[in-house]
Amino acid sequence: MPFDSLILRSVVSQLNDTVIGGKVLGVIQNSPYDFIIRIGTERKKYNLLFSIHPSYARTHLIKNYPDQDKRWHFADFLQTHLKNGTISSVDQKDFDRIIVIKILSQQDVMDSTTKILIGEFMGKHSNVILIDEGTNKILESMKHIDESKSSFRQVLPGETYYPPPITQTIDFFSINKDNISEILKSGEGQVWKKLVKNIQGMSPTLAKDVVARSDKNSSDSIFDSIMQIRNDIAISKYTPNVLILQNELIDVSAIELIQYDTAYKKTSFDNISEALETFFDHEIAKDSFIADKNSLIQSVKKRHYDLLKKHDILEDQLKIAENAEELKKKGDIIITNLNSLQRGQKEAILQDPYSPDGNEIRIELDEKLSPSNNAQKYYQEYKKAKKSKEIVEKLYEKNKKEIDQLLNISKIIEHAEDTSTLDDIRQELIKKGITKAKTSETRKIKQEVTLFKRFRSSDDFLIYVGRNSAENDLIVKQESSPNDMWLHAQQIEGSHVLILNPEKKPDIPRRTLIEAAILAANFSKAKHSSVVPIDYTWAKYVRKPKGAKPGFVIYTNEKTLFVSPSGKN
């Protein structure tokens, strides 16, 4: 239902109960889309949010407000014209997604004028406009709309304000049975879509619920459903709630929604603003998480593509460098045949002593050099090629390792389920130069990147715990050294745990082993069991079979500890 006319009607009802008579204390803006008006009444202070974000356009009270990190023109303008003003009325225009707030602004001791703040919440066309009540002229708006953007309606300072055009022809509060009958007869299509097309303020969610409340799709039944909702609105009978399915917030509503079956859980709220704040905080966080994940995936893909190109180039260079032995062989053959060669020859066809069939070989010669110097020239080229081969081989292996690391990081990104994991990955990619820091991050970059959950044992050993199958793979394939200790719940799905042993001590203290085993138990599917068997072995005895699924390993030489996840061993 977000953010439709019915929800706005509920917000207006709440604002009439809370902020009427309140003073405007200030205006805070921290993005091109959002600003907050701070309002003080005799009882308490309120924060009224306005957002014209194309996906989250809305207005409602919020508990907390963000700090303003820079000055914004619109906020400064509102601050100048509205601060210390008194909110005299809050209304909804007809049954549209338009809120109208009148504020008595005290310009000086002898002069007071009424300013009208209008919020239009219509997706990408949303806007907030301040007008003068006496002249109906626009003073300022968050978005300026000139003739190039709209030939029908310009929203610019100095222009007369006109509300957005209405596409539906029938008013929600004056509709009758005859109207419904005509709507149902109009063309083909689903009933709820016909209601949306013809009735002002009828959103898809509201229309579907009207249909769900009716026994059958008759005009009488549909009209009765609308009357139920109209009667509740008339007495401000709202039941704010959020619908949840499998831990995902699906919808927010000002009324009970009949259209959702029992699979959906409902969480009720004391007021519509709390419901909206909960729902939109979740939506914004979810969308931001998806956007961050996609951004990281694209950065990794770009670097992976570059590394693959570099891989091909190095592979070609390696093939050339591998010709080094051929150069040495030619030098050897020249030395063997010095007596049959003379200066001035451009080439020589000689017996190849390295050929099992006794074949001949054609060797190019520098006619300006003696046979001996030609041999030395081939030896010099051999040394150069051999040295080049060593360098290229190192570069080739380094490049190959980075490709493998990127593939593992890519898996971690795909399996990431929380922002902290993405933040950690982003920091690592920033350090590697694969992606750039966000604007807010450029001020302060984390000093330590944590790809895994990390713990410190009582004996001061660092312990890694994989958070997903991709991190488990990374622990086994790249992070472990032969002398590290690896732990895992016995025959139970869970995290790989690694005790780092950089000093290569022959034994890990038992206290550290038990602490790591408790971690392995807690990060397994047996975490609610009273006792969990935990296998442990040196990392050198753990290997991942080729082609095995993420997180799967084979290990030997293991021992077993029996621990309680609670730590009561």
Per-residue pLDDT tens over the stretch 210-263: 999 998 778 999 999 999 999 999 999 999 999 999 888 999 999 999 999 888
Segment among 6-10, 72-76, 243-247 with least mean pLDDT: 243-247
Cβ atoms of 495 and 466 closer than 8 Å: yes
> d(Cα 289, Cα 414) in Å, to the nearest integer?
12
Per-residue pLDDT tens over the stretch 147-198: 888 888 999 999 999 999 888 789 999 999 999 999 999 878 899 999 999 9
> d(Cα 392, Cα 386) in Å, to the nearest integer?
10
Query: What single string gives the DSSP state of each residue in 264-331?
Result: SEEEE-SSHHHHHHHHHHHHHHHHHHHHHHHHHHHHHHHHHHHHHHHHHHHHHHHHHHTTHHHHHHHH
Say if residue 448's pLDDT is above 60.
Answer: no
Per-residue pLDDT tens over the stretch 203-217: 999 999 999 999 877
The pLDDT, as a whole number, for residue 26 is 93
> d(Cα 324, Cα 138) in Å, to the nearest integer?
80
E-state strands within 365-492: 453-456, 462-465, 485-489
Q: Where are the domains positioned within the chain?
A: 5-141, 177-281, 287-447, 453-563
CATH topology for 5-141?
ibrinogen binding protein from staphylococcus aureus fold (2.30.310)
> d(Cα 518, Cα 455) in Å, to the nearest integer?
12
Say if residue 269's pLDDT is above 90.
Answer: yes
Q: pTM higher than 0.75 for the full model? A: no
Q: Looking at the domain that runs over 287-447, which CATH code has it been given?
A: 1.10.287
Mean pLDDT over the full length of the chain: 90
